[in-house]
Amino acid sequence: MSSAFRAPRGTFDLVPPRSEAFLAVREAMAAPLRLAGYGYVETPTFEDTGLFVRGVGESTDVVTKEMYTFTTRGGDSVTLRPEGTASVLRAALEHGLDRGPLPVKLWYSGSFYRYERPQKGRFRHFSQVGAEVLGTEDPAADAETVLLALDAYRALGLSQVRLLVNSLGSVESRPAYRAALQDYLRRLHLDAETRRRVDVNPLRVLDDKRPDLQEALTEAPLMADHLSAADRSHHDAVRELLADAGVVWEDAPRLVRGLDYYTRTTFEFVHDGLGAQSAVGGGGRYDGLSESIGGPRLPGVGWALGVDRTVLALEAEGSPLPARPGVDVFAVPLGAPARRRAFGLVAGLRQAGVGADLALDGRGLKGAMKAADRSGARYALVLGERDLAADVVQVKDLSTGEQSAVPLADVVPHLQERLT
Ligand code: AMP
């Protein structure tokens, strides 16, 4: 039976048992970051609309078509965050982290919102774990973030993730390439919408998936041929570090990502088992982002990994999804005085670190034993009136069926011992 309401289009609920996989994926993504000394950051799920317009880029699809923007009762325009980097940078600047020791390494985990057309792997509410390294141009920071993402995928047992790497050049060298690309594109027969895109954001045209356009783009100039000496040496240094670490990647000279702030290193993790929405994560360097949101010069590099698509990738690979931990002990009290005693017993077990649960609603022996089996517990504690009178409880091993009476006062240490 459902209620009169359903989760909004493009969203879904996480309920057991599948919700466990989401928790495990988030934890697996965060673990390598914590191990590498990244600090946790949490920002509001909505921000001043201008932050995303200026940060993500006025002409991006995210800003022009996909933002959940609304005016508050106070008359301010706010937007549900479509991505994390602009917010993290805003927060870092607001709290003066850029004036302390650099680099600042941060990670986050949370919900993001884009008004996209829902399809498999593309949702309007989705979940990302992200990492950002602020205040360094060292290519080692770029390589480090890539390695930490790969550590997460490895820990999850994902084997079919491919890494695509490109350089989009620096804020200084991009304009010349942009002009060369525009020259080329203006000589093609394009529809009005694409022509407009050539004017405002020509790099995005490279990302157009239409086969006839892709065909026409085969001869298009590539950023790789327009990198400055400094960009080239940065890119070579990143690639050397990745190679030294044994990372396998594909050079993807046409990889441009959906957010305008990327400079130099850009990368994407794709999974071939996912169909059209194959990107499980992506990121890159954003050396000009701080200035575009009104901050000082503060280079940075980072990524966001999609939690939802990573779960889908695990399912596509047929990997066993993590299961709920479950309890070790399940109490089966028979009669009101036993229920009261069992309630305290279970609380004591939990305080001692033993996973424990008990039958509710005054269930009889048969129903309560069924609940004990379903709970996955190894031991049932059966507590009847006669047991109470004798100050004992029956400890039943649910796999062997063996049962023995244990004094009530000893049952917590007794179970702790048997469970180690
Ligand atoms: P982006 O912020 O666009 O670089 O996206 C980073 C990652 O977030 C992508 O690789 C996806 O795994 C995930 N992602 C982005 N948009 C969506 C969406 N609408 N639904 C589900 N996952 C998404």
Q: What is the tens place of the pLDDT at every residue in 210-220?
A: 899 889 899 99
CA distance 10 to 193: 26
Over the Cα atoms of the chain, what is R_g? 28
Instruction: Provide the Cα torsion 57, 58, 60, 66; round to 10°.
Output: 110
In this structure, what token pair is assigned to residue 272?
């071939």
Max distance between CA atoms of the chain, in angstroms, equals 94
Give the percent of the chain with pLDDT over 70. 100
Q: Whose CA is nearest to atom 15 of ligand 1?
A: 306
The DSSP secondary-structure symbol of 286 reads -
Is residue 1 very low, low, confident or very high in pLDDT (cuts 50, 70, 90)? low
CA–centroid distance, 314 to ligand 1, in Å, is: 16
Rounded CA gap, 276 and 274, in Å? Answer: 7
How would residue 84 be classed by pLDDT, with cut points 50, 70 and 90?
very high
Question: Residue 346, SS3?
Answer: helix
Summarize pLDDT for 331-366 with one digit per residue, the tens. 999 999 999 999 999 999 999 999 999 999 999 999
Indicate the pLDDT class of residue 114, thresholds 50, 70 and 90: very high
pLDDT tens digits, 245-261: 999 999 999 898 877 78
- Ligand 1 pocket check: which of 9, 85, 122, 270 to mutate, most ligand atoms within 8 Å of Cβ? 122
Tokens, residue 157? 């047992």
pTM over 0.85: yes
Least confident of 11-25, 101-115, 270-284, 318-332: 318-332
Distance CA 129, CA 126 (A): 11
Ligand 1 environment, Cβ below 6 A: 83, 114, 116, 122-123, 126, 128, 257-258, 279-282, 304, 306, 308-309
* Residue pLDDT, tens place only, 358-398: 999 999 999 999 999 999 999 999 999 999 999 999 999 99
The per-residue pLDDT for 256 is 87
Identify the sign of the CA torsion 340, 346, 347, 348: positive
Residue 261 has a pLDDT of 85
Q: What are the backbone dihedrals phi and psi of residue 404, each rounded to the nearest 5 degrees, phi first?
A: -145, 150
Strand pairing class (68-71; 77-80): antiparallel
